[in-house]
Amino acid sequence: MFDVLIRELGARFGLGDKSGELLRIVLAYMTNKETGGLAGFLDTFKAAGLGPLVQSWLGNTVSPQPLNNTQVEAALGSSGGLLDLVSRQVNAPRDSLTGALAYLIPGLVAKLTPGGSMPSAIPAEINAFIGDPKAVLA
């Protein structure tokens, strides 16, 4: 399900075989029930003043508005945020990771919000890909 995306991440951002782990971490973080799930994740962008951008992602698999590195840093760069987590777990330059997150997040949100609404449950394929979310986010 994610093979093409993993290969593209590896090639585009120089992450190589670390791409799968990055995607697993991002999906686990986005869907983490302890932090409010997908709605809680999107709230971090809204709190950073990016509400209209978030709206453009919901259900929009054709042309969700892109994020840039500065916006990723503003929303996810705080201590204990997603950027810190991937920086600790994926041995790659922070700029590459920030760019990869900017690339990944709009499309993932679009796919997770079919019809523009929050899902009642995360699709089984995504849960299977993530595995144990607590272990992934540890």
Q: What is the pLDDT of residues 51-110, one digit of tens each?
A: 999 999 999 888 899 999 999 999 998 888 899 999 999 988 888 999 999 999 999 999
Q: What's the rounded Cα separation, in Å, for the pair 19 and 40?
A: 24
From residue 31, alpha-carbon distances to 2, 12, 40, 126 in Å are 16, 25, 9, 10
What is the pLDDT at residue 138?
86
Averaged confidence pLDDT in the chain: 92
What is the pLDDT at residue 80?
81
Where does the pLDDT of residue 13 fall: very low under 50, low under 70, confident under 90, or very high at 90 and above? very high
Q: What's the rounded Cα separation, in Å, for the pair 127 and 81?
A: 21
Where does the pLDDT of residue 119 fall: very low under 50, low under 70, confident under 90, or very high at 90 and above? confident
pLDDT more than 90, % of the chain: 74
